[in-house]
Amino acid sequence: MMPRDTNPQGTIFGGVILSLIDQAAWIEALRQCNRRYVTVAMDSVEFHHPVLVGDILSLWATTERVGRTSMRVKVEVRAMRPDAGTDISVTTAFVVFVAVDEQGRPTPIAP
């Protein structure tokens, strides 16, 4: 993580991490079925540890459930602290997407 992403306390803004979670989940959704998706929900996200400048984040996304028009993706966020040689769990989130057509209406995920 880079200094441009920090808040006044010197840790990474939570919103930056939420954006990364959304992107990782979207990539996982595309792996399941190439559709246009919109994010409709993200469960409560609790940050267990701060993310610091210099941390290397890993985001692991797995599909939890695929419905007719929606998909739930789990994203685990871990931070590796190179200077300390530690790897910590930052948070876990669940993101729900809905597949939409060109008019923004829900559409089936599988053809």
CATH number of the domain within which 64 lies: 3.10.129.10
- CA dist 76 and 58 (Å) reads 8
pLDDT tens by residue, 54-89: 999 999 999 999 999 999 999 999 999 988 888 999
As a dihedral over the C-alpha atoms of residue 4, residue 13, residue 19, residue 87, rounded to 10 degrees, the angle is 100
* Weakest mean pLDDT among 24-33, 76-85, 92-101: 76-85
User: Residue 92, Cβ neighbours under 10 Å: how many?
Assistant: 16
Question: Is 111 part of a structural domain of the chain?
Answer: no
Residue 34's domain comprises 3-100
Count of domains for the chain:
1
Question: Is 22 part of a structural domain of the chain?
Answer: yes
pTM for the structure as a whole:
0.93
Question: Is 110 part of a structural domain of the chain?
Answer: no
